[in-house]
Amino acid sequence: MTLIRRDRRDTIEIWTLDRPDRLNALPDLEDGEAFAAACEAVNADAGVRCVVLTGAGRAFSAGGDLKAMKDRRDLFAGSGTEIRERYRRVVHRIVRSLYGLEVPLIAAVNGPAMGLGCDIAGLADIRIASETASFGVPFLKLGIIPGDGGSWLLPRNIGYARAAEMLFTARSIDASTAADWGLVNRVVPADRLMDEALATADQVAAHGPQALRMAKTLLRQGRDMNFDQMLEMSAALQALAHLTDDHLEGVTAVLEKRPAAFTGR
């Protein structure tokens, strides 16, 4: 079964983790390729301006398959060297692909997001949670550590002390706490989750696609750049943006007090 069900709504793609019988457990050995293919397709398609990611059924993603871990099969089979290489080829391919997605990513977290599932949600630019959502990084409870880069990502999303509390206690947090801690932007009733996510996606997708991708690049690169480096990148990208037809359309639309009709040129 294909992991990611992809649907298109004008300039927005909706990705659904479609493994509900296993609470959208991740990753199977083919999942790295599934995420890479989806991200590469969007990056190559100038017509896509935003992606919404959610889970089928009652979970966003329960994370690693505990039965596979216990049986030491699939991703967890073989020697330490073999497991390390599978993490690199499968798990790291998932997170690298999502981190490299050029358009804004909105996570519509419909239920539990655990382990890798929590960190995948954390890779989104905007996170909207259902009241039934919960978040956890229970790696230490299983005698392992975050092998997916979560120890880099989580402190950047919620701060070191809160990330340490989640990791070291292995306790999950509910949607309300996740909002208080900044892990999600807001919490909505379950029956309004996708409506809210898509309404937000519509607001994002209303902007010019080139400037939108540039803006995301600046935000992502800004996590690791110093101020002088950011100013140089900003000037370079701004120069390109000023030369686009979409820039002239945006200025004209504001002056004429009408919605802009961006074309990506």
List, for residues 210-236, the tens digit of each pLDDT value: 999 999 999 999 989 999 999 999 999
Q: Is the pLDDT of residue 251 over 90?
A: yes
Mean pLDDT score across all residues of the chain:
96
Neighbouring CB atoms inside 10 A of 134's CB total 20
Prediction pTM value? 0.95
Q: Given this model, what pLDDT does residue 2 score?
A: 80
Delimit the domains of the chain by residue range.
4-205, 209-256
Q: Please report where in the chains the tokens 């370079």 appear, as a residue.
A: 236
Average pLDDT over residues 34-63: 97
Handedness of CA 99, 102, 104, 109 (dihedral sign): negative
Average pLDDT over residues 44-65: 97
pLDDT band at 68 (very low <50, low <70, confident <90, very high): very high
Q: Is the pLDDT of residue 262 over 90?
A: yes
Q: Please report where in the chains the tokens 């020697």 appear, as a residue.
A: 79
In angstroms, rounded to a whole number, what is the distance separating the alpha carbons of residues 214 and 187?
28
Q: Given this model, what pLDDT does residue 52 score?
A: 98
In angstroms, rounded to a whole number, what is the distance separating the alpha carbons of residues 159 and 82?
33
Q: Given this model, what pLDDT does residue 25 score?
A: 95
Q: Is the pLDDT of residue 149 over 80?
A: yes
Encoding tokens for residue 36? Answer: 């890479």
CATH architecture label of 4-205 = Alpha-Beta Complex (3.90)
Q: Is the pLDDT of residue 85 over 70?
A: yes
Q: Given this model, what pLDDT does residue 159 score?
A: 97
Q: Given this model, what pLDDT does residue 1 score?
A: 59
Whole-angstrom CA distances from 143 to 66, 138, 214 are 12, 9, 41
Average pLDDT over residues 146-164: 97
Q: Given this model, what pLDDT does residue 183 score?
A: 98
Whole-angstrom CA distances from 261 to 43, 57, 241, 242 are 21, 37, 16, 16
- Percentage of the residues of the chain whose pLDDT score is greater than 70: 100
In angstroms, rounded to a whole number, what is the distance separating the alpha carbons of residues 199 and 189?
15
